[in-house]
Structure formats: structure tokens, C-alpha cells
Amino acid sequence: MVSAVMGAVVTLPMLVGCGGSTGGSAEPTTRNIDEIIVYNVCRDPGISDEALRAAGLDPATKRVFTDPPTGVSSFRACNWKPLDERYGPVNYLAYVYSTSHTLQELREKESSTVLGETTVNGRPGLISKERSNPEGCYVNFNAEQGMFQVSVNWLSEYKSREGDTCAIAARHAEAIEPSLPK
């Protein structure tokens, strides 16, 4: 169940927190996103065609949104069109992002609005929207590398905007999550 939590959200290059403690004092630790290699949702190993079909997405419609061919990247993302109407009308694209950014960073990101907390198959998560695209919606969930994000955005060639992008993104996130690393 989603509880209403509103807040503004800033992408930070590093997250500073408390590390292990000895003798009652906490030592700061730094998480450098420029050193984290994120899971590639677009290429090997990627998300299998079977997992995409099970999540209601058409593997033949894959478009790479951002996927540097080598090296470290804080984001890798692809999108797909739906196979059918099982999650809503077929007038949208579903994106899957793999990122080294965290849920806490999302909470602090100025260009985003957190709509509420959620879980995706037991993983803590947030539902959010980008201020520049109020019709689209993101379901973000925790991962060791940072987080995964599943978003839904309307296709411009369709005039109809029927359906709840947050509900559609949540259904795709639940279906695709088992194929992603923890």
C-alpha cells in the first residue's frame, strides 16, 4: 500500500553517511557513484525476452535510451512498448533504468516530487514524478548498486491519456523485478 509522502527531491554525486563504529564514534563513509558499475538492463546479461514478455513488454520494440558501451555509468536505460492491454491502454512506453543513485538521493532531487512510499516484491521503494513531465510516473526500488526505476510515459502519437501511469508502472515493476539483481 502506498502512503502519502510528499517531498522535493537533488541528484548528488556522492552520498555521505555513517560507517562502522568503534568505541562509540561513527566514521563517515563515502559512496562514489563514479566507481559503481550498474547492471545493464539493455545488453548482456540484460533483461531476457521471456522476462519482458512475462512483464507485458514487447522485446522487439526495445529502444536504448542511455547505455554507454563501456565503462562506468550512473544510468543505463531502455524502453519497450506493451505487448497488449493487460496493464492498460497500449499508448505508452515503459522504461527500465538501472542506476547507482539511491532512494535517498531521489528524495532530495529538486526536479522530482516523491508521491509516496511503496514496496516492489519486498524491496523498499518510492513513487515519483519529474516536474518536467507530470503525466509520466516512476516506481523506484532499492538495489545494492543504488536502485532500479520503472517509468511509464505516454506516446505522443496518441491523443488519449487514459489510465494511471503510476499504476501501470507499478504493475510492470512488480513483473520485471524478479529478473533484476538485488
Task: Give the Cα separation of 42 and 22 in Å (integer).
Answer: 42
How many domains, in total, are found in the chain?
Answer: 1
Residue 47 has pLDDT above 90, yes or no: yes
Q: What is the mean predicted confidence (pLDDT) over 58-70? A: 85
pLDDT of amino acid 101: 93
CA 13, 115, 119 angle in degrees (round to 5)? Answer: 85
Cα 131–chain centre separation: 16
Residue 20 has pLDDT above 50, yes or no: no
Give this prediction's pTM.
0.79
Strands annotated E in the chain: 3-8, 14-22, 25-32, 63-66, 75-80, 92-99, 112-120, 123-130, 133-143, 146-154
pLDDT of amino acid 70: 66
User: What band does 68 get if pLDDT is binned at 50, 70 and 90?
Assistant: confident
Task: Give the Cα separation of 33 and 17 in Å (integer).
Answer: 14
Q: Give the range of the structural domain holding residue 60, as residue numbers without chain letter.
A: 3-179
**Percent of the chain topping pLDDT 70:** 80
pLDDT of amino acid 16: 32
pLDDT of amino acid 153: 94
User: What band does 169 get if pLDDT is binned at 50, 70 and 90?
Assistant: very high
pLDDT of amino acid 150: 98
User: What band does 28 get if pLDDT is binned at 50, 70 and 90?
Assistant: very low
User: What band does 30 get if pLDDT is binned at 50, 70 and 90?
Assistant: low
Q: Which helix (H) or strand (E) holds 173?
A: helix 165-176
